Structure 1
Amino acid sequence: MQLRALRYFVTLAREGHFARAAEACGVTQPTLSSALAALEDQLGKRLVERDRRFIGLTEEGRAMLPWAQQLLAAHEGMVHAVEALDGPLHGEFRLGVIPAATPSVGAFAEALLRLHPGMTISVRSQTSREIVRAIEAYEIDAGITYLDHESPANVISVPLYAERYVFVTAAAGRRPAPGAVTWEQVEGYPFCLLHQGMQNRRILDTLMSGQGVSVRPRATADGYVALLAIVRSGGLATVMPERYVGLIEGADWASVHPLTMDAAVSRIGVIVGDRAPLDPVANAALGCARSIAGLTGV
């Protein structure tokens, strides 16, 4: 059984499309289809339902998928373990990041590339649930996500920082007096927030409910770029992590106000799969996270 064919099979299951899977594997579609057919012949089972296009995996294909993922990950980890004996790691590091933690990616990437100059880093914006699923499926090496709210299971984590929030409006529109504001003071503003599929929004809903505050947003989005664009146009306001303030610092259109709260809302940190033996790439992610946490005092 060739690892190449298993890689094609796992990629097809992820992409759900023959042409996209072939492109992701760097081969032609006939090459991918031929390797999959040979794999099916070897196993004596049909793994993929197809009729000129990908329909889905068969029952046998679904049963085989997690084992194929583990086998490919074990081979990759073996290569990394041998490579680590000679010095810095090489290859692509795959990182999933929740939108709320995007401003922290720079410090993590700098630490990883400095300690392992032979590596490259690929960053994907994902929800907290997508990050956990991708780690379980060996699709990413690590994630940056929430650690306390809806705590991820079967992972090793290193906290990076504690998240706090700011209230943002357009300077030219309705805005509070300078300085910190309370949740009660901002309740009457028309809001734009992340949609409820994002954990940051679910945390905000829980926090506001605990303060007796009810907010029904006029607009929702899946990222802060869209939210800030809506705020800048005037009329609506938003609540976002204070780490985003550095990205709009100096912008004359923004009116930014810290939100008064008794304690940090939640910790954000790096997570990797809790597996033994631990892949050296995952171990490198934890080492980078510890070095950053040491600087931030978390």
Structure 2
Amino acid sequence: MHLRQLRYFVAIARQRHFARAAEECGVSQPTLSAGLSALEADLGHRLVERDRRFAGLTSHGEAILPWAEQILGAVGSMASTLSASAAPLGGEFSLMAIPAAQSLTGRFGEALLRRNPGLSLSVRSATSREIDRALHAFECDAGLTYLDHEPPANTLSIALDAERYLFVTRADGIDAAVTEASWQMIVSTPLCLLHQSMQFRRILDARMAALGTSIVPRAVADSYVVLLDMVRSGRFSTIIPHSYGELLQGLDWARFLPVADEGDARRIGLVVMNRSPLSAVVQAGLSAARDLVSEQV
């Protein structure tokens, strides 16, 4: 068994397509197929169902996939730790962030790169469930996500913010004397919201249920940019995290109102897998997060 064969297998499982997996691994499709066949021969079990195309993992393939991911992740962490022991930390820090936490990426990235000028930062948007899967599969170094609602399992975390709601509506569609949005006002307004695959929306729906009501939006999206553009059109209002309001203050067409009786603030922070030992790159991320916390005190 060779590491390259495990890389081929993990790439096939992730891409679910032989040509795309071969492209990811930088080899030809026949080379990838031959490596997979050799791995199956070594293990004595078929791992991938295939005819002329990928048809899924076998039960044996599903069983060994987490082990293959852990082996490759451990080898990568070992290599980065060895490099860090001889020179300043370099390479890429891979961060995944839920939309509600993306307004924190700038501050985190600045703290990380200030400490580690040899690093580069790669940020990807993801749902909380995608972050959980990616952390366990060694596909990212850290995530920015909710810490108290559906948190990833077996993680270390550092809280960076306590989210509050802002109601966003057209400035010319609301009395200037109104300084706070009640839930009664919100539910009576045509709304556009994140769809229910997004954790922000599921938490919001749970708050509505606790208050004995519900929100039925007229439109849904997976991007705050889309929601804000819908508000700008004049037909809709929306609800966003307060951190976005800080970025958007000064827009002459929008009003940002705090929400009355919104419940407890929701903690958002950095999460990494609780593995021993932690890689040098992951330790750098935790140190940057701690810097942010100390700056807020």
Q: Sequence identity, in percent?
A: 54
Partner of 1:50: 50
1:293 Cα shift?
A: 1.6
Contact 2:143–2:270 (Cα < 8 Å) also in 1: yes
- The one-letter code sitting in structure 2 at the alignment partner of 1:200 is F
The Cα of 1:249 is off from its aligned counterpart by 2.5
1:165-216 deviation per Cα after TM superposition (whole angstroms, max 9, x unaligned)? 1100122435674422232332311111111111101111122333344321
Match of 2:81 in 1: 81
Q: Which moved more, 1:181-190 or 1:281-290?
A: 181-190
Change (3 A) 1:177 1:205: farther
Counterparts of residues 182-201 of structure 1 (less than 5 Å): 182-201=182-201
Distance 1:262 1:48 in 2: 49
Contact 2:207 2:262 in 1 (8 A): no
Is 1:283 aligned to residue 283 of structure 2?
yes
Indicate if the aligned counterparts of 1:143 and 1:272 stay in contact, CA closer than 8 A: yes
Amino acid at match of 2:103: P
Query: What's the CA shift for 1:248?
Result: 2.5
State the match for 2:254 in structure 1. Answer: 254
Q: Does 1:123 align with 2:108?
A: no
Q: What corresponds to 2:237 in structure 1?
A: 237
Once the two structures are superposed, residues 26-61 of structure 1 have per-residue CA deviations (whole angstroms, 9 ceiling, x without a partner) of 333233222222222333332211112111112221
- The offset of 1:113, in angstroms, is 2.0
Q: What are the equivalent positions in structure 2 for 1:21-170 lying under 5 Å apart?
A: 21-170=21-170
Q: 2:202 and 2:176 mapped to 1: Cα distance?
A: 25
Letter in 1 for 2:284: A
Distance (whole Å) between structure 1 residues aligned to residue 244 and residue 138 of structure 2? 30
| Distance in 2 between residues matched to 1:80 and 1:188, nearest whole Å | 54
Deviations 1:247-281 (A, max 9, x none): 32222221211223476421000001111122222
Which segment is superposed worse, 169-178 or 234-243? 169-178
Alignment match, 1:227: 227
The answer (yes or no) to whether the contact 1:160–1:293 under 8 Å persists in 2 is yes
CA contact (8 A) 2:113 2:120 kept: yes
> For the Cα contact (< 8 Å) 1:173–1:235, is it kept in 2?
no
Give the TM-score of the pair, scaled to structure 2: 0.93
Per the TM alignment, residue 159 of structure 1 is displaced from its structure 2 partner at its CA by 0.4
Secondary structure, counterpart of 2:180 in structure 1: coil
Q: What's the CA shift for 1:81?
A: 2.1
Assess if the C-alpha contact under 8 Å between 2:8 and 2:21 holds in 1: yes
Instruction: Kindly provide the amino acid, as one letter, of the partner of residue 220 in structure 1.
Output: V
C-alpha separation in 1, matches of 2:262 and 2:44: 62
Distance in 2 of aligned mates of 1:29 and 1:262: 54
Equivalent positions of 1:263-274 (< 5 A) are 264-274=264-274
**Change in CA separation of 1:175 and 1:104 when aligned onto 2, cut-off 3 Å:** farther
The answer as to whether partners of 1:181 and 1:259 remain within 8 angstroms in 2 is yes
Change in Cα spacing, 1:173 to 1:136, as seen in structure 2 (3 Å) is same
**3-state SS of the aligned residue for 1:256?**
strand
CA, structure 1 residues 33+222, in 2 after alignment: closer, same or farther (shift >3 Å)?
same
SS in 2 for 1:152: coil
SS at match of 2:268: strand
User: SS of 1:275's equivalent?
Assistant: coil
Determine if the alignment matches structure 1 residue 11 to structure 2 residue 33.
no
CA distance in 2 between counterparts of 1:78 and 1:13 reads 23
Look up the match of 1:2. Answer: 2
CA distance in 1, matches of 2:76, 2:175: 53
Mean Cα deviation higher: 216-225 or 183-192: 183-192
